[in-house]
Amino acid sequence: MSTHHTSTGDSPSVPDHGTRHGAGPAVAILRGGTGEHVEAVVDTLVGAGVRAVELTTNTPRWREGTAWTARRFGDGVSVGVGTVLDPEQVDDAADLGASFVVSPHLDPAIGERAHERGIGWYPGAATPTEIVRAWRLGARAVKLFPAAQLGGPAYLRQVLAPLDFVDVVPTGGIGIDDAADYLAAGAVAVGLGSPLVGDALGTGDTVALRSRAERLVAGLAR
C-alpha cells in the first residue's frame, strides 16, 4: 500500500522521505472530551473503515489511547499523535507506538527528532513557501492548515499546480460531504476532526459516529 518517493527530473531536489502516507484517504482527528471514550471512538472509526487515527496531545488520556490503538490494530491502522509542539512529545509518541506525528506549525527540530525515531512527520503549513520548506526538510506529508479558511479545494488546486511533487493532507474546517473535493484537487488524504468525531469523545455516542464515518469512507471511495 505504501510507496517510496522518487523525484522527477523536473522537481526540486528533496531528501529521502521514506515510506509515504499510505493509510487511506481519511485521517480521523480526536481532540477533547473526557478521555473516557477514546478507545470506543477509535474502535468505531476503524470498524467503519477509517485506517488512520490521530490523537492530539490536548486530549485527555491521549497516551493511553495511542498505546491501546497501536497494540490492538498493529500495522492495520496508522496511529498518530497530533498537536506535537516539541521534540520531547515526538519521543513520547514513538515510545507509545505511534507511526507519525502532526503539528499545527513548522518546526525543523520536531522533524529532525521524528526522523531520528523513524516515524513520519506531518508539519502544518499554509503558504507555498512553507509547504516547500517542509517538504525539503523531509516531511512525509505536509498538513495544509487551516485548509477551509485558506480557500478550500480551489486554494489547494492552485498551490499544487507548481508543487505537484508534494504530498499534502488538508486539515481544518473540512466537512464529510466536501472531503472528496480535496482529493480531487490533489490531496493524498484529508484530516477531519469535529465534523467527523462530533461529540462522541464526550458522550460516547458511537452510533452516530459510525454513521458519519461510514458516509465519509463511502464518499471518498467514489
Specify whether the CB–CB gap between 152 and 178 falls below 8 A: yes
Tell which residue, 23, 6, 41, 89, has the closest CA to residue 210. 41
Catalytic choice (36, 39, 54, 214): 54
| Four-residue CA torsion sign, 179, 210, 146, 98 | negative
The grid coordinates of residue 87 equal: 521534540
Distance of CA 133 to the CA centre of its chain: 18
Q: How far apart are CA 86 and CA 93, in angstroms?
A: 11
Tell which residue, 209, 66, 52, 59, has the closest CA to residue 143. 52
The three-class DSSP label of residue 172 is coil
Specify whether the CB–CB gap between 188 and 21 falls below 8 A: yes
Q: Which residues pair with 78 in a beta bridge?
A: 52
Catalytic choice (39, 112, 130, 143): 143
Establish whether 143 is a catalytic residue: yes
Q: How far apart are CA 19 and CA 41, in angstroms?
A: 27
DSSP assignment of 136-160, as one string? HTT-SSEEETTHHHHTHHHHHHHHH
Active site residues: 54, 143
